[in-house]
């Protein structure tokens, strides 16, 4: 199953529900394009919901890092929501779990952006 | 495509040679999936093997063969009594595995690439990289089989249909 992503707005946060495979090729370029598009619209608070991501490879991990950098460079924040065990383990192995702000609860994740904004 | 018994070693073998294209990554993964099922690997280990094959074929196509579709990637899957051994060979110039930066070092954490070999090492029990003069790099990956998963000993279970020639 290739990657699918839908975007919804919750308060000031752009929530991207991602499903399928984030791997070399279409999945990665789709995600890159989507992040670029959101930044172009001035949306700098991005929450990637990875609950339905079945597979992510080293290129996909690189794409998450790339998205994180792109959003941070614009003064925004990119956070992750609802990692599957496979994705969680990958981020642990690669030590990226220490880089990303990861949440299990969407409402709390949204709230964390608002707190960050006021800070 | 059938796993062929190797009388000398008592193992079962399947070899494929794929055109060096990114679409063949999924073909290689499919073969790996079939071999893992035959070897009796559980879902978690099968995922790790598929991921290792996925990453090694990407490396072979992109870094070894430099996306040259006229080149090939050779794969050999061999099920022994105690292990699954996978070899992936490209037709590139080889590479020095010791020169690869540690992707977990603080200064490399935010690099976009450079995690492929690291993941292969994390997911497999043994990994060796050899540069074969005139043939490119060959990555050998081993996943040990526990006693419960030793279902296949020189049998002829049907494997994934190949898209390639047997070398």
- pLDDT tens-digit series, residues A20-55: 999 988 778 889 999 999 999 999 999 999 999 999
- pLDDT tens-digit series, residues A51-86: 999 999 999 999 999 999 999 999 999 999 999 999
- pLDDT tens-digit series, residues B10-28: 789 999 999 999 999 999 9
Q: What is the CATH number of domain A4-114?
A: 3.30.750.24
Q: Report whether pLDDT(B151) > 70.
A: no
H or E element at residue A88: helix A85-93
B55 to chain A: which residues are within 8 Å by CB? 57-58
The nearest CA of chain B is from the CA of A76 a distance in Å of 16
Q: Report whether pLDDT(B167) > 60.
A: no
Sorted by where each begins, the domain ranges of chain A are: 4-114
Separation of alpha carbons B46 and B35, rounded Å: 9
pTM of this structure: 0.87
B119 to chain A: which residues are within 8 Å by CB? 57-58, 90, 93-94
Contact across the interface for A94 and B47, Cβ inside 8 Å: no
Average pLDDT score over chain B: 87
Contact across the interface for B111 and A93, Cβ inside 8 Å: no
HSE-up (13 A, CA, CB side) for residue A68? 19
Q: Are A56 and A1 a contacting pair, CB within 8 Å?
A: no
B4-149, CATH topology level = Heat Shock Protein 90 (3.30.565)
Sorted by where each begins, the domain ranges of chain B are: 4-149
Comparing CB atoms, the residue among A58, A63, A99 nearest residue B55 is: A58
Report the pLDDT value the prediction gives residue A26, as an integer from 0 to 100.
76
ipTM over 0.95? The verdict is: no
């Amino acid at each position: 199953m290739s990657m699918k992503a839908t975007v919804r707005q919750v308060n000031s946060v752009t929530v991207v529900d991602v499903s399928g495979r984030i791997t070399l090729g279409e999945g990665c370029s789709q995600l890159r394009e989507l992040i670029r598009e959101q930044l172009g619209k001035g949306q700098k608070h991005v929450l990637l919901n990875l609950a339905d991501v079945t597979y992510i490879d080293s290129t996909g991990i690189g794409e998450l890092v790339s998205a994180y950098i792109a959003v941070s460079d614009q003064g925004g924040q990119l956070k992750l929501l609802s990692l599957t065990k496979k994705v969680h383990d990958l981020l642990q192995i690669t030590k990226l779990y220490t880089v990303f702000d990861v949440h299990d609860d969407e409402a709390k994740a949204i709230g964390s952006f608002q707190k960050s904004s006021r800070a | 495509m059938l796993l062929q018994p190797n009388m000398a070693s008592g193992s079962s073998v399947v070899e494929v040679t794929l055109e060096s294209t990114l679409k063949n990554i999924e073909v290689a993964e499919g073969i790996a999936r079939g071999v893992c099922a035959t070897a009796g690997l559980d879902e978690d280990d099968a995922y790790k093997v598929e991921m290792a094959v996925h990453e090694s074929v990407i490396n072979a196509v992109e870094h070894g063969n430099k996306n040259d579709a006229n080149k090939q990637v050779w794969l050999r899957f061999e099920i022994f009594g105690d292990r699954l051994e996978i070899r992936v060979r490209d037709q590139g110039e080889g590479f020095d595995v010791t020169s690869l930066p540690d992707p977990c070092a603080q200064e490399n954490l935010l690099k976009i690439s450079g995690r492929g070999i690291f993941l292969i090492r994390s997911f497999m029990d043994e990994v060796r990289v050899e540069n074969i003069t005139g043939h490119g790099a060959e990555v050998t990956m081993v996943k040990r089989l526990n006693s419960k998963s030793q279902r296949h000993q020189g049998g002829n279970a049907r494997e994934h249909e190949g898209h390639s020639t047997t070398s």
